Every structure is written in C-alpha cells, then in structure tokens.
Chain A
Amino acid sequence: MSDSFDQIFVRAKQWLLALLPDAPDWVIQVASSLLNIAAVLGTFMMLFALISVLERKILARIQNRYGPNRVGPFGLLQPLADGIKLLIKEDVVPLRADKIIHFIAPIMIAATAILALGVIPYGRNMTPFSIDGGILFFFAVGSATELGVFMAGWGSNNKFSMLGAMRAIAQMVSYELPLIITVLPVIMIVGSLSADAIVAAQEGYVVAGIVPRWFVFTPWGAAAFILFFVSGLVESNRTPFDVPEGESEIVAGHMTEYSGFKYATFFLAEYFGMFAISGLAVTLFLGGWHSPVGILQFIPSYIWFFAKLSILLFVFIWIRGTLPRMRVDHVMGFAWKFMLPMAFTCIIAAAVWHYQRHGLAGWFWSLAVVAIVYLGLSRLVDTKKKFAPRTYRFAE
C-alpha cells in the first residue's frame, strides 16, 4: 500500500508511455524526456509561486507587519496578480544596449538554473536525468550562469549593470571553489559522482537504529554542509551576500535595465537556483529522500524530499530577514581566508573518518581535526578590531 503511494508518479509515467505502444524507440525516449521536463517545470513553477508569496509573508512576520493579504485567502493568489502585472508591463530596452545579448541574458540564466534541477533525485526512482556524472553536470551548468550574468551586465550598457555583473562574477567564481570542494568529501566516501548512488549510500540507521546514516551527522559532513550552504547563499546572490544587486549602492546590479517579464525571468532564475542548491544540499548531506525516522518510512519519499527542501528554503528566507548585507571586499576575503581552508579541512576530516572504518573513534578524530583547524583559523584571521559599544540616540 505504502509502496503504491511512493511510486505513484513513476507508475503514472509508465502508464502514459504505454499509451503509445507501437511507436519507435526514439519516440518513446523523447516522450519520456518531455514528461520528465514537464513534471520538473510544473512542480517548480508552482513552488516558485508559493515561495514568492511565503517569502513576503515570512519577511513581514519577521519585520512585524502583515505582508500581502488582499488577493485571495491569506494573500495566496498574490503571485497570480504579480505575474499578470509583470506580463503586461512595458518591455524597455535601452537605446544603446546590445539588443541581442540583452535579450538572451535572462533566458540563459533561467535555462542554466532549470537544467541544474534535472539531476536531483526527488524520490525513489524519481531522478529526471540520471547520468553517471550527475554532480559534475550540476556544477558544469551552474558555472555557465556566470556567463549569463556577464551578458546581462554588458548588454545593458549601463555602469550600474556592469558594476553589478563584475561583483556577481567575482563572488561566484570565488565561492565556486568552496562549494565544489565541500562536495568532494561526500564523493570520496561514496565513490561515485551519481546523485542516486550518493542518496543510496545514506540509507539505514546507526546507533541502535535511531540516528539516520546521513552525512550531516558526521563532523566532516556537518562542517561541509554549513560551508556548502553559505556558498550556496552566495551563488544564488541572496542576503547577506547580495552585493551584486545592492539596491542602496548600484540600483539592482546587472538587472538594472530590465523590466517587465525579463525582470521576472531573472527573479525566477534566482529562485530556481535557490531550489537547485537546496536540493543538492538535501541530496548530499541530508539523506536525499530517506526518512529521518525508521518508523515513518511509510510516508512517500518525495514528501520527505520536499519537506527537507522547504526547511532549507525557510532558512534562506530567515537569513534574509535577519542579517544585513556584507561589504563587497569582506565577502571576497571571507571566501579565500576562511571558507577555502575550512573546505580543505573537510576533505582531511573525511579521510580520517574513512580510515577509522566509519566508527566512533573516527567520529571523534574527525571532530578533532575540524575543531583544531577551525580554532586555529579563527585566531589567524582575527583582525583584533575592538568595537565600541553601540549607543542608540533615538531608538531607546
């Protein structure tokens, strides 16, 4: 019974494909791919609409106000109104812009974000694009995003756009290093680049069957997860690392000269990138679609995946509501002086854990490695700046 619920989408796809029994092989292949694409796009468009209104609601809650509450029940139909508004807005292209590049840039950014969603396993047997080098594919298409940002900045022929694009590329290139290096320990332990194999390696429970065998519950995994999440924040240009679009300094960065639906496409790409990074974090460290408790395994796998994804998305929004924007040179210094050495430490800690045969001794040794490097590094990069106590003149 639980199995049929778990596999309901897989069955539905098989049933749909059985509707064309006499078709040649390549028609089946194309139809199967199209079904996968439609499912991924449909699901994440819905999630995008939902998250865009939820983000405004949560931010409003954090800032002690109501947020959107006029359109539909609890303002839930707000994305519909926003979409119609953006669709019928005038599409302004600057006179001296490079028209073709200006037009292609949002498409390019959105396309790479959507492609990255393809390799994530959303449930048991539910990987839309299952290849041997899935994780590599994710980062390969992710690295093409920088080109899209550059095209947006250059094509607009505007100094704010150009400054924003340069900031964005600089921070994306810098944080790509810790992002990829924190993935390496997982790949080393699993011995495969395939997302399915990584999820399969996190099956089961240890310590009297209570703690799930997720990588986040090992010291190196926890450290790598935090580093990966912070790098993911930077890669998706979210607060506190949203210097490329810092509105108080450079209007909206590379999106300054975009309006109407092109702007909405950038917005969509940002959220899809956020989904992709969070989805990969769930796959790599949080056990993918596995259930956290043994007795709750009857709940379908995709529900677990999307529950974990939602929690990570909530943390994204929470951080946005809590932290102020970092200064641009601090962002870069943080990447090279702290993130990168810590990412390398994760590799060493994972190796220590692996050679102690994944046991308790290895767990503590690995913790020791991470802790020693963390404390040493904090000492080393400490600027010894003393801050004067803050005085409030008007907000008492």
Chain B
Amino acid sequence: MSTAAFIVISVLTLAGALAAASLPKLIHAALCLVVAFVGIAAFFFLLGAEFVGLVQVFVYVGAVAVLIVFTILLTRRADETTGGFNWVGVVISGAVFAGLLWAILQTPSLSVAVPQIEALTVKRIGEALMTDYIWPLQCVGLLLTAALIGGLILVMEEKR
C-alpha cells in the first residue's frame, strides 16, 4: 500500500518538477511547481508528519505559489518567448544532484534501523516551539515584522 503510494506520489512530484523546469510558458511552469509542492506535502503525510505536510501546503501552495503567480501577473504580459535550451542550467543542476546523491549515500543514517519515536502531535510541536525554541521563534517573528514594515514603506506615498 505505502510502496504503491510512494511510487505514485514520486512520479507525480518528479513530473511536476520537470515540467516546472522545462515548460516554455512561465505561468504553466509556476502552476506545475504547485503540483511538485503538493507532492512533497503528500510525502510528509506518508511519513506520518501531518503537521509538516499541512504547513507545506499552507506556506508553499497558499503563499509562495500565489506570490510567484502574482509576480508574473504584475511584471510580464504577452511576450513569453524564452531562449533556447539552457545547457549550462542542465549541467549545474546535474552537478548539484550528483553532489547531493553522493552526500546522501555517504551518510550512515541510511543503514541504521528506524528509531522508535512516539507520534508527533501538533501539541508537542507547540510545546517545543514555546519552550526550547522560543528565541529562534521570536527572531523569525521579528524578521517577518521587519519585512512587513519594509513592504509598507516601499509602497507608501511620499509626502512632499
């Protein structure tokens, strides 16, 4: 059951990612990227990490993808001709993939048996965030507030 699900999800995710990298129209590529994001969220669900999967959908589909399509919407129109096949990009991405694969195969964790941990509930994540990781959380909050204020200042009308 889970093997079949794994194969279906990985085929979908890979197809989405490949289409996002190769489709000529930018808007199609952005929407295919959403498929890849949802596929990754499905992987998290398969692994039993419900919360991470939901946040993946929430942040990447709900925010990042909307941001990307909004950017496309506001910047370009009609002229959607892209250059030819980008061989440099293929070489770079191939090198990155090979490097990651090599690093993953070098790590010992693949040969170690799966540790027995209790189910990860939202409550435990909340407790960890509010006790052990309170300072990183506050820093992220500060950063996001700064970004929000920065965005406001950029669009504010200048008074003369």
Q: Could you tell me which A residues sit within 8 Å of B by CB distance?
A: 26, 98, 100-101, 131-133, 136-137, 139-144, 146-147, 150-151, 154, 162, 166, 169, 173, 176, 191-194
A142 to B73: give the CA distance in the assembly, Å: 21
Contacting pair A140 B122 (CB below 8 A): no
Q: Is B138 an interface residue (CB 8 A)?
A: no
Residue of A nearest to B69 (CB): A150
Contacting pair A169 B66 (CB below 8 A): yes
Q: Which of B56-108 contact A (CB under 8 A)?
A: 57-58, 61-63, 65-66, 69-70, 73
Contacting pair A139 B58 (CB below 8 A): yes
Given known pairs A133-B54, A136-B54, the reply for A147 and B70 (CB within 8 Å) is: no
A176 to B27: give the CA distance in the assembly, Å: 24
10 pairs, CB–CB < 8 Å, chain A vs chain B: A100-B28, A132-B51, A136-B54, A136-B122, A139-B58, A139-B62, A143-B58, A143-B61, A147-B69, A192-B122
| Cβ contacts B38-67/A at 8 Å (1 or 0 each) | 000000000000110011011001110110
A176 to B55: give the CA distance in the assembly, Å: 15
Contacting pair A147 B65 (CB below 8 A): yes
Of the candidates B1, B27, B34, B123, which one forms a contact with A154 in the assembled complex, judged by CB atoms under 8 Å apart? B27
| Chain B proximity of A103: nearest CB distance (Å) | 13
Contacting pair B121 A132 (CB below 8 A): yes
A192 to B126: give the CA distance in the assembly, Å: 10
Residue of A nearest to B52 (CB): A133
Contacting pair B122 A147 (CB below 8 A): no
Q: Is B12 an interface residue (CB 8 A)?
A: no
Closest 9 CB pairs of A and B: A143-B62, A140-B57, A140-B58, A136-B54, A193-B122, A26-B1, A140-B54, A133-B54, A144-B61
Residue of B nearest to A145 (CB): B62
| Chain B proximity of A143: nearest CB distance (Å) | 3
A193 to B121: give the CA distance in the assembly, Å: 10
- CB-CB < 8 A to A140: which residues of B? 54-55, 57-58, 61-62
| Chain B proximity of A146: nearest CB distance (Å) | 5
Q: Could you tell me which B residues sit within 8 Å of A by CB distance?
A: 1, 27-28, 31, 34, 50-51, 54-55, 57-58, 61-63, 65-66, 69-70, 73, 121-123
A51 to B121: give the CA distance in the assembly, Å: 38
- CB-CB < 8 A to B121: which residues of A? 132
Contacting pair A191 B123 (CB below 8 A): yes
Q: 9 other contacts beyond A131-B50, A143-B61, A143-B66, with CB at 8 A cut-off?
A: A101-B27, A132-B122, A136-B54, A136-B55, A137-B54, A139-B58, A140-B58, A143-B58, A169-B66
Contacting pair B58 A136 (CB below 8 A): yes
Contacting pair A192 B55 (CB below 8 A): no
| Chain A proximity of B52: nearest CB distance (Å) | 10
Contacting pair B73 A166 (CB below 8 A): yes
A147 to B65: give the CA distance in the assembly, Å: 8
A137 to B55: give the CA distance in the assembly, Å: 9
- CB-CB < 8 A to A142: which residues of B? 62
- CB-CB < 8 A to B1: which residues of A? 26
Contacting pair A136 B61 (CB below 8 A): no
| Chain B proximity of A36: nearest CB distance (Å) | 17
A162 to B27: give the CA distance in the assembly, Å: 14
- CB-CB < 8 A to A137: which residues of B? 54
- CB-CB < 8 A to A191: which residues of B? 123
A133 to B1: give the CA distance in the assembly, Å: 23
A143 to B57: give the CA distance in the assembly, Å: 9
Count chain A CB atoms within 10 A of each CB in B1, B61, B62 and give the residue with the most: B62
A282 to B58: give the CA distance in the assembly, Å: 23
A146 to B55: give the CA distance in the assembly, Å: 17
A140 to B37: give the CA distance in the assembly, Å: 13
Of the candidates A100, A154, A173, A192, which one forms a contact with B73 in the assembled complex, judged by CB atoms under 8 Å apart? A154
Given known pairs A101-B31, A132-B121, A192-B123, the reply for A150 and B54 (CB within 8 Å) is: no
Contacting pair A169 B65 (CB below 8 A): no
- CB-CB < 8 A to B54: which residues of A? 133, 136-137, 140
Given known pairs A132-B122, A133-B54, A193-B122, the reply for A169 and B70 (CB within 8 Å) is: yes
A142 to B65: give the CA distance in the assembly, Å: 14
A136 to B57: give the CA distance in the assembly, Å: 10
Residue of A nearest to B119 (CB): A132
- CB-CB < 8 A to B61: which residues of A? 140, 143-144, 147
| Chain B proximity of A173: nearest CB distance (Å) | 7
A146 to B58: give the CA distance in the assembly, Å: 12
Contacting pair B58 A173 (CB below 8 A): no
- CB-CB < 8 A to A173: which residues of B? 66
Contacting pair A136 B51 (CB below 8 A): yes
A166 to B69: give the CA distance in the assembly, Å: 11
- CB-CB < 8 A to B57: which residues of A? 140-141, 143-144
| Chain B proximity of A70: nearest CB distance (Å) | 43
A98 to B30: give the CA distance in the assembly, Å: 14
- CB-CB < 8 A to A132: which residues of B? 50-51, 121-122
A139 to B57: give the CA distance in the assembly, Å: 10
